[in-house]
Amino acid sequence: MTKPVGMEVAVAAAEAVALCNIDVAACYPITPNTHIAEHLADIIADGRIDAEYITVESEHSALSAVMGASGTGARTFTATSSQGLMYMHEILPITPAMRLPVVMGLGNRAVSGPINIWNDHSDIIMQRDSGWLSIFADNGQEAVDMFIQAFKIAEHPDVLLPINVNMDGFQLTHVVEPIVFPTQAQVNKFLPPYKPFASLHPDHPLSMGTLGLPEIYTEAVKARDVATVNAKKVIVQIWQEWEKQFGRKYEPVMTYKTAGAEILILTMGSMGETAEVAVDALRKKGVKVGLLKLKLWRPFPFDEIRKAVRGAKTLVVTDRALSYGGPGGPVCSEIRAALYDQPNRPEIVNYIIGLGGRDVRVEDFMKMIEGAPKAKKSGDAYQIYGVRE
């Protein structure tokens, strides 16, 4: 294993993508994913990898271009954030419908308005039902690892679905972290060449992206849903392979100091590391608290959530986005759905935190955990934490 190097996470993400021997990339730069797009363009322009970088005029075209390339059997990558992801919206659901294993890097950023370039999860949450697989990194090392895993997951013959790797904008993309890079030989061992199920070639004519009349659309949806649900098994298996080869563990729901915990707090993304420090501090004070970190957003790990909360009296769910006029934070509404039928389930408190780059510190997590009984008593389905009243 090589030594850790200090590197900006967005740059490291581009280096990880380069290690995966991609064939085609098309990115339109947008804060805070810009450095992924820029650095990958450098790598390709410098001839470090044998790939094409298509410069496009929009994100709509970026995703369209990589889908066309993916249809020919190329390994493809794109990256974006926030408004750029919104601009891709029309194309996003077509990628999984065509079962094209495109990998996307997302530097998560708040969606306008008001105009805001800073971090929360409102961009990916708005695209939740597009049918992409979705995983979340806590730190730079996880981002690098997940990009390499992502190609293997997406291209697995039992999956063949696109996947996005989520990195919190600025909080991850723009910080310099120590990162251990696998060698090219190690990546080659882990990630086999992409063998497409079918590809566009003049010698073997076929049609992709065809019309689905009412007589077939329902069956198409069912087939795609089954593939998405079944992808979880492959993701878990590939994460186990990763752990075996590289020693770093990944699970749909990661646990931190949950043994004997009466109260659990759940995070998704980079704030998990801040919450760890809060859990450490509270454990020292004798509070029986543990942390759950959601790594897999789609397909949602219902069974793993049920198992992880077993025995807890209170579950504090943090969300980085809000469904206006809905049941609360989007992560929490999935968790409520997962636990509704359970005979013994914890009381749930939902905080909406860290919107549009609002800082959430260790003390805030401690306050959220300690204030959970009071928040529960209020009867509110969710609370926007830290809002000035």
Partner 1 sequence: MKKWPETWKEYNTGGIVFEPGNARSFKTGPWRSLRPVWDNSKCIKCGVCYIFCPEGCVQEGPDGFFAADLDYCKGCGICAHECWPSAISMIEEGQES
Contact residues toward partner 1 (CB under 8 A) are 97-100, 160, 197-198, 205-210, 212, 215-216, 218-220, 222-223, 226
Distances (CA, A) of 270 to 86, 143, 150, 312, 374: 22, 10, 18, 24, 26
- We find the least distance from the C-beta atom of residue 207 to partner 1, in angstroms, to be 4
Which residue, 202 or 325, is less far from partner 1 as judged by CB? Answer: 202
Dist. CA 66–CA 72, nearest whole Å:
10
- We find the least distance from the C-beta atom of residue 96 to partner 1, in angstroms, to be 9
3-state secondary structure of 52: strand
Dist. CA 50–CA 370, nearest whole Å:
54
- We find the least distance from the C-beta atom of residue 267 to partner 1, in angstroms, to be 35
Which residue, 212 or 373, is less far from partner 1 as judged by CB? Answer: 212
Dist. CA 7–CA 172, nearest whole Å:
11
Question: DSSP assignment, residue 340?
Answer: T
Dist. CA 217–CA 29, nearest whole Å:
35
Question: DSSP assignment, residue 69?
Answer: H
- We find the least distance from the C-beta atom of residue 215 to partner 1, in angstroms, to be 5
- We find the least distance from the C-beta atom of residue 166 to partner 1, in angstroms, to be 25
- We find the least distance from the C-beta atom of residue 93 to partner 1, in angstroms, to be 13
3-state secondary structure of 291: strand
Q: Which residues of 185-206 are buried (b: 16+ CB within 10 A; e: fewer)?
A: ebbeebbeebebeeebeeeeee
Which residue, 39 or 99, is less far from partner 1 as judged by CB? Answer: 99
The owner of tokens 């390499």 is: 148
Which residue, 93 or 371, is less far from partner 1 as judged by CB? Answer: 93
Which residue, 17 or 160, is less far from partner 1 as judged by CB? Answer: 160
Which residue, 158 or 243, is less far from partner 1 as judged by CB? Answer: 158
Is the link from the previous residue into 114 a cis peptide, with omega within 30 of 0?
yes
Contact 353, 385 (CB under 8 A): yes
Which residue, 22 or 161, is less far from partner 1 as judged by CB? Answer: 161
Dist. CA 358–CA 111, nearest whole Å:
14
- We find the least distance from the C-beta atom of residue 316 to partner 1, in angstroms, to be 39
